Structure 1
Amino acid sequence: MNGDARYLIGDLARLTGLTVKTVRFYSDQGLVSPADRNPAGHRRYGADAVARLELVRTLRELGLGLPVIRQVLERELALSDVAAAHAEALDVQIRVLRLRRAVLGAVAGHGSTTEELTLVHQLARLTGEERRRLVGEFLAEVFGSDGRFAGVARSLTPELPEDASAEQIEAWVELARLAADAGFRELLRGLAADEAAESGTGGLPRPGLAVLVRELAGPAVAAGVVPTSPEAAGVVAELLERYAGMLDATAVAVGGSVRARLLARLRAMGDPRRERYVELLAVVNGWAAPRSSARVLDWAVRALRL
């Protein structure tokens, strides 16, 4: 580009892709200054004006204000420092937008009332310490001080990252609401109590009941075995026999027959809230989606009822 070239405002507009009005405005603001005027009094600009205007346009598109842009052009501020500060500000805006998106998504997905909207917003805005306290209280109520469940409690602990996506925040909000549900807490307390009763004095059974059901009923479900069939009866018989081995005489006496106790256990384990919590936990913690046990549990319940 010829360093001695002179451009009218219309020429600059054409070269930079800006409107004539915008170029004139930036000139009036002192962001680009005319080199001279032609005989008709029209402002003329040097070749450097094109580069300055292109930089101004780029910085404006990135959201910088005119005072900051002027300081960059006059070299009062280093462009790298401005970029770093602006990137940090954008990170804050992104987090705020994710938060708003998550709250709106949670409200839209559950048809929340005005009161629930307030609750959802409060849950989404909790600090990391407040989230940990809420989850800690929930898990303490469910498992108490039984050290056998320490590992289980850790595996059920959501840890929302600082740079959480809108999906993770939305999952956290739903998970927190679920954890606060008295009925859900009672369900998990009952499941934990049953696990403890079945563990005897040797710790939690290995494999546990969930693993046992998947091991025996899973292949039957995959093969399309009907719960009312003789083949299903064979699976049920083995399931009852192996489950009875997890129990002591006291547990059977308190819980009734082995079949009745197992049926009650599987119904509780098949509660959709339990599986939903695990699904939400995986989203919040960035884990792979868990394998659903709903079909297997439903099959086992139907087969046991016969």
Structure 2
Amino acid sequence: MDAHPGLLTIGQLAQRTGLAARTLRFWSDEGAVPPVARSASGYRLYDAASVARVELVRTLRELGLGLDEVCRVLDGGTTVADVARAHIAAIDARIRSLKVSRAVLSTVSKRDSTAEETALMNRLARLSATERLRIIDDFKADVFGGLDLEPRLRDRIRDLRIDLPDDPTPDQVDAWIELAELTQDPDFRTRMRTFLLLSTPAPGHPRPPGSTIWWARQVVEAVAEARSRPGDPAPLIAGLFGDADLTEVLACLEAGLAADMEKYRILVSRVRGQRASRDATDDLRWLAAALRNAVAA
């Protein structure tokens, strides 16, 4: 040691930095903190610059860099900024993955799901953007394909995009899982197509009676208001549908209820991160009962 005044042994470097000698020895072996000299007995020796280097290595390690990356930074093979940008991207990806995991676990806990259901939900949540798009495109092709639609409505359906953003919230992931399950259900697709056949106008024709129930929220609000004032619903029905064939109106309404249109609408809004209007299923069931009574009268 006398031949190297002012230098530190690895034990002294450990005391100076608060790190274990074992850790410093490993870093030294990997080339991150090489000794500046060796004693006559072969012990590693370090100087004041080594202390600063140790602090930098510790900082980079705490930020998640591997020792190979640390060495490249210290040797000038890359910059801290470049490594930081790469790690930001990796951390963001990890955060997204953790959010997905949390959403899946939250859904599992609420549904009391089986192992098979849990595996399915996890798979649906982790689909790529292309795979998610394929599910929705397949749903649209099965439900809307071959319908004689007016051009504007056909274009809206074609351009309809339902997908998760790059950084979804747990609620969006939860809604996507439920929507993916729903849209892949053959029975749901059949019920949805039946509803569309009854409620979608063909080119050059007026909108079928009752279809406004599903496309105009003011109808729902009028029903909710009528429910709050007990009495004869006949004035409401007359005001909403005029001289339309109530049998056709009822058929359209019941088809929409059978197709879980409100559930579908709300799930789509949640996936998109939009605030959905309230679930009006109970109001619409009340209206269906009133229409059945009117038709039977």
Shared fold per TM-score greater than 0.5: yes
Other-structure match for 2:219: 213
1:41–1:155 CA distance, 2 compared to 1 (3 A): closer
Q: Does the CA contact (< 8 Å) of 1:32 and 1:53 recur in 2?
A: yes
1:35-184 mapped onto 2 (5 Å cutoff): 35=36, 45-144=46-145, 145-148=147-150, 149-150=153-154, 153=157, 157-184=161-188
Q: Which moved more, 1:180-189 or 1:295-304?
A: 295-304
1:14–1:214 CA distance, 2 compared to 1 (3 A): farther
CA deviations 1:183-209 (Å, max 9, x no partner) are 322322232122137998234679922
Once the two structures are aligned, what percentage of the paired residues are identical? Answer: 39
Q: Does the CA contact (< 8 Å) of 1:213 and 1:300 recur in 2?
A: no
CA deviations 1:207-248 (Å, max 9, x no partner) are 922435324223335xx32xxx33xx1xx223322454473x
Unaligned runs of 5+ in 1: 253-257
Q: Does the CA contact (< 8 Å) of 1:156 and 1:281 recur in 2?
A: no
Aligned length: 284
How big is the shift at 1:78? 2.2
CA distance in 1, matches of 2:18, 2:281: 59
TM-score, scaled relative to structure 2: 0.74
1:125–1:141 CA distance, 2 compared to 1 (3 A): same
Q: Does the CA contact (< 8 Å) of 2:263 and 2:279 recur in 1?
A: no
CA distance in 2, matches of 1:217, 1:87: 51
CA distance in 1, matches of 2:211, 2:196: 16
Q: Does the CA contact (< 8 Å) of 2:201 and 2:208 recur in 1?
A: no
- Secondary structure of the equivalent of 1:147? coil
RMSD: 3.9
Does 2:247 align with 1:241?
no
CA distance in 1, matches of 2:56, 2:77: 15
Which of 276, 280, 284 is the equivalent residue of 2:263?
276
How big is the shift at 1:177? 0.9
1:218-229 mapped onto 2 (5 Å cutoff): 218-221=224-227, 224-225=228-229, 229=230
Does 2:193 align with 1:192?
no
How big is the shift at 1:135? 1.4
CA distance in 2, matches of 1:206, 1:165: 36
1:303–1:95 CA distance, 2 compared to 1 (3 A): same
Unaligned runs of 5+ in 2: none
Other-structure match for 1:285: 272
Q: Does the CA contact (< 8 Å) of 2:210 and 2:241 recur in 1?
A: no
TM-score, scaled relative to structure 1: 0.72
CA deviations 1:57-100 (Å, max 9, x no partner) are 12212222212212211222222222233333334444444454
CA distance in 1, matches of 2:202, 2:87: 58
Q: Does the CA contact (< 8 Å) of 1:32 and 1:52 recur in 2?
A: yes
Other-structure match for 1:255: none
How big is the shift at 1:295? 4.2
